[in-house]
């Protein structure tokens, strides 16, 4: 996978040098971002935005799209204030040009909400996620994967605000929907199990939390493998709940296994 990504990056670098290589620059920026090469991705995405603004104008859909992409990179670099400003500008532009119910507008809304959540502005983040969820549910239906993702994002923010009961209800709905629509072995399903379990742990429902964490861990090991970072996170989450229940030996074994795998990977 890494070699394939590197080959794609090489091809895109060649195409991005052409005068008509705007699409290649966009894709190259995406690839570099995915590979964690944020400084280089920032330079390319910034240049792409400037080119779109010059060629198409500040309110063209392609300009707003490249603005959103640059903001995502900035957020990854920890520059949250700048990212929020760009996401907000992109959202306002898309609402004006495309309308409030177009997919691009909803994407900008979600992106801004995620950054606001990271900045600790939970109330505004929750309002944006709730608006996005209402629109997505009306357009796509209550069980569409995008609707379930919107619901999950709102639940995560509500959990951060301490609204655990509503967060629990939303996470249960998401889990049921993903099991039905995506299946139990889709990566999104164990993620939902984990998210619900984290809320249940905070609510003191440790037995169900442990059961969900264990099921999520087993599914993730099967889907992604025992050495995947997501598997190790779930292992530590299960260990934390097991420890809180009082099963210290089991918790120690889980922590030890996670540590050994991590040391093996980094070695």
Return all residues near 148 (Cβ < 8 A) that are at least 6 apart: 173, 174, 177, 178, 181, 188
pLDDT at 71 exceeding the cut of 80: yes
pLDDT per residue as tens digits for the range 207-253: 999 999 999 999 999 999 999 999 999 999 999 999 999 999 999 99
Measured between its terminal Cα atoms, the distance across the chain in Å is 20
Please give the structure tokens belonging to residue 229. Answer: 């970072």
Express each pLDDT in 170-190 by its tens digit: 999 999 999 999 999 899 999
* 3-state SS assignment for residue 226: coil
Does residue 147 lie in a domain region?
yes
DSSP character string of 34-78: HTT-HHHHHHHHHHHHHHHHHHH-TTSHHHHHHHHHHHHHHHHTT
Asked, for residue 132, whether it belongs to a domain, the answer is yes
Residue 155 falls within a domain, yes or no?
yes
- Report the C-alpha dihedral over residues 41, 45, 46, 52, rounded to 10 degrees: 170
* Residue 198 domain flag: no
Q: What pLDDT, in 10s, does the model give residues 21-39?
A: 444 444 544 544 555 577 8
Does any domain span residue 252?
Answer: no
Question: Is 123 within a domain?
Answer: yes
**Do residues 89 and 81 touch, judged by C-beta distance below 8 A?**
no
Please give the tally of structural domains in the chain. 1
Q: Please identify which residue in the block is written with the tokens 């590197």.
A: 6
Residue 149, domain extent: 83-182
Residue 121 lies in a domain: yes
pLDDT score at 150: 94
Query: Which whole number is the average pLDDT over 51-59?
Result: 92
Arithmetic mean of pLDDT over the chain: 87
CATH number for the domain spanning 159: value is 1.25.40.10
Q: Compute the half-sphere exposure of residue 184: CA atoms within 13 Å on the CB side of its CA.
A: 8
Average pLDDT over residues 30-58: 79
Q: Is residue 162, in this structure, part of any structural domain at all?
A: yes
As a whole number, mean pLDDT of residues 137-151 equals 94
What is the dihedral sign for C-alpha 204, 209, 210, 213? Answer: negative
């Amino acid at each position: 996978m890494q070699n394939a990504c590197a080959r794609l990056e090489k091809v895109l670098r060649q195409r991005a040098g052409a005068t008509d290589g705007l699409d290649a620059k966009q894709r190259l920026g995406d690839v570099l971002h995915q590979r964690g090469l944020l400084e280089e991705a920032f330079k390319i995405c910034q240049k792409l935005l400037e080119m779109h603004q010059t060629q198409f104008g500040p309110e063209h859909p392609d300009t707003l799209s490249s603005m959103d992409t640059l903001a995502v990179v900035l957020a990854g670099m920890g520059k949250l204030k700048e990212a929020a400003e760009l996401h907000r500008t992109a959202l306002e532009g898309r609402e004006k040009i495309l309308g409030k119910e177009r997919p691009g507008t909803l994407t900008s809304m979600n992106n801004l909400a995620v950054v606001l959540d990271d900045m600790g502005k939970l109330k505004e983040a929750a309002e944006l996620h709730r608006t996005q969820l209402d629109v997505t549910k009306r357009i796509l239906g209550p069980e569409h994967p995008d609707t379930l993702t919107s619901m999950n994002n709102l639940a995560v923010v509500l959990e951060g605000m301490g609204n655990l009961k509503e967060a629990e209800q939303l996470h249960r709905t998401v889990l049921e929907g993903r099991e039905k629509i995506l299946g139990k072995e889709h990566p999104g399903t164990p993620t939902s199990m984990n998210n619900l379990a984290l809320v249940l742990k905070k609510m003191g429902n440790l037995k169900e939390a442990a059961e969900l964490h264990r099921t999520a861990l087993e599914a993730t090991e099967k889907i992604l493998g025992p050495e995947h970072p997501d598997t190790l996170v779930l292992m530590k989450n299960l260990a934390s709940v097991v420890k809180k229940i009082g099963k210290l030996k089991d918790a120690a074994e889980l922590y030890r296994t996670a540590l050994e795998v991590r040391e093996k990977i980094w070695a």
